[in-house]
Amino acid sequence: MTEKTIDLKQLLYLISDQKELDINLNLDEGCTFEADDPKPLVKVINYLLNYMAQLTAQTIEISLDLLPEQFRLSFLAYTTAETLPEISGNLQNALDMYQAVFQFHHEKGRYVKASVSFQK
> Quick check: 61 and 55 in contact, CB under 8 A?
no
**Does residue 76 form part of some domain?**
no
Taking only the tens place, the pLDDT of each residue in 57-95 is 999 999 999 999 999 999 999 999 999 999 998 999 999
Taking only the tens place, the pLDDT of each residue in 2-51 is 689 999 999 999 999 998 889 999 999 999 999 999 999 999 999 999 99
Number of domains observed in the structure of the chain: 1
pLDDT the model gives residue 120: 86
**Does residue 41 form part of some domain?**
yes
Q: 51: domain range?
A: 8-59+82-101
Range 13-21 contact pairs with CB under 8 angstroms and sequence separation of 24 or more: 15/42, 15/45, 15/46, 15/49, 16/62, 19/46, 19/49, 21/49, 21/53, 21/60
**Does residue 112 form part of some domain?**
no
> What's the pTM?
0.93
In order of 59, 108, 112, the CA distances from 20 in angstroms are 12, 26, 20
Q: How does strand 111-119 pair with strand 70-78?
A: antiparallel
DSSP SS3 for 110? coil
- Give the Cα separation of 37 and 52 in Å (integer): 25
